[in-house]
Amino acid sequence: MVRLMYETSADSTDVITWTRSANLKTKSVVLPEGRTIVVTGISFVRGKTDVEAAFIPLSPDLVTELRGGDSDFLVVDPFGQAYKPVVDDARLRGHLITLREKVISTEGPYRVYDHLRHSAITEGVEAGIAIDDMMHLSAHADPNTNREFYAQRSTVKAVEIQLARGII
């Protein structure tokens, strides 16, 4: 579930409703240089805004994992049961907190797993993607939303700024 949230820049309330039959799609895409590639990804409507998100391609490893489950739901709880939106929000957040604690206990990075959407936007900006272009991943019609709420403070950008200033 965490990887699905991260790759799609979606929040937990969206991903827990997705099914193989309705949301996992394969498309042929013609790239600007004329090359055609076939990709599998997620097609969905964002829950909070009812905005149709663009088709979001997924990594081949995640596609393999999603196709391997027994349920039509792409995300199930640790017991193999689908989450019920709204009803199971507290239970889902509890599972994400438990996951964070396990990652930290193995000396992994601290992450707030129900906010990976913010991390995806920040990483795109750090990789050189214009924040206005990140709307294709976040589905925000107004790029200011990405600027004001979704791009987190970036260590990479802070280092670049300090290098440019001659501080480091």
**Domain total of the chain:** 1
Question: Residue 11 and residue 166: Cα distance in Å, rounded?
Answer: 39
What's the pLDDT score for residue 64? 92
Question: pLDDT, tens digit, for every residue of 82-116?
Answer: 877 666 666 667 767 777 777 778 876 666 655 66
Contact criterion met (CB below 8 Å) for 28 and 34: no
CA 150 to chain centre: 12
- What does the pLDDT look like over 36-46, one tens digit per residue? 999 998 888 76
- Nearest of 42, 35, 38 to residue 10 by alpha carbon: 42
Q: Is a pLDDT exceeding 90 seen at residue 133? A: no
pLDDT interval class at 130 (50, 70, 90):
confident
pLDDT of 159 reads 64
Higher pLDDT, 25 or 168: 25
Q: What is the pLDDT of residue 156?
A: 65
CATH of the domain at 80: 1.10.443
pLDDT digit string, tens, across residues 72-84? 988 887 788 887 7
Contact (Cβ atoms closer than 8 angstroms) between residue 75 and residue 62:
no
**pLDDT on residue 145:** 72
Q: Give the integer Cα–Cα distance in Å for 83 and 75.
A: 8
What confidence tens digit (pLDDT) does each residue in 58-71 have? 899 999 989 987 88
Containing domain of residue 130, as a range? 2-165
